[in-house]
């Protein structure tokens, strides 16, 4: 009786250059998943390949450091206080101080808008 040659079942081994040793799990909304699928399909890649390419090419700008977040909280609080003072002055009929408060509000709002924009340079390239 001849020995039967058993074929191994399962998927074939990958080349060493294609083996990935770490798994990263992430939760996506249905919209994000559809967006990922569409972008990967448009690029002619699998979702995993597209994500790896995006990670390698993307520059991420940290939203705010803890110090900046604290600064924003203080600015927001200051903005609210100035607004309340301006409203009080407006009801009292003191227009000169009301205009000064309005100017201060504009400066604070400008600072808050700057911190909210994406034009800041990344320190995590």
For the entire predicted model, the pTM comes to: 0.40
Total number of domains constituting the chain: 2
- Of 3, 1, 125, 123, the C-alpha closest to 64 is 123
Structural domain range at position 40: 29-60
> Which pLDDT tens digit goes with each residue over 2-29?
556 566 677 777 777 667 778 888 899 9
> Which pLDDT tens digit goes with each residue over 48-107?
889 888 888 877 666 777 888 888 888 888 888 888 888 888 888 887 787 888 888 888
DSSP string, 8-69: PPSPPPPPGGG-----------HHHHHHHHHHHHHHTS-HHHHHHHHHHH--B--S--HHHH
Q: Do 53 and 73 fall into the same domain?
A: no
Q: Do 76 and 110 fall into the same domain?
A: yes
The Cβ of residue 21 has, within 10 Å, a number of other Cβ atoms equal to 4
Query: Residue 109 pLDDT > 90, yes or no?
Result: no
End-to-end CA distance of the chain, in Å?
66
């Amino acid at each position: 009786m001849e020995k039967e040659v058993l074929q191994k079942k399962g998927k074939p081994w990958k080349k060493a250059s294609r083996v990935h040793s770490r798994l990263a799990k992430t939760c996506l909304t249905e919209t994000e998943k559809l967006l990922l699928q569409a972008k990967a399909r448009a690029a002619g890649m699998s979702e995993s390949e597209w994500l790896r390419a995006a990670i390698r090419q993307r520059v991420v700008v940290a939203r705010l450091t803890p110090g900046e977040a604290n600064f924003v909280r203080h600015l927001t609080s200051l903005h609210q206080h100035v607004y309340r003072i301006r409203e009080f002055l407006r009801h009292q009929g003191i227009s000169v101080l009301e205009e000064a408060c309005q100017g201060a509000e504009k400066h604070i709002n400008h600072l808050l808008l700057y911190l909210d924009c994406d034009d800041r340079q990344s320190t995590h390239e």
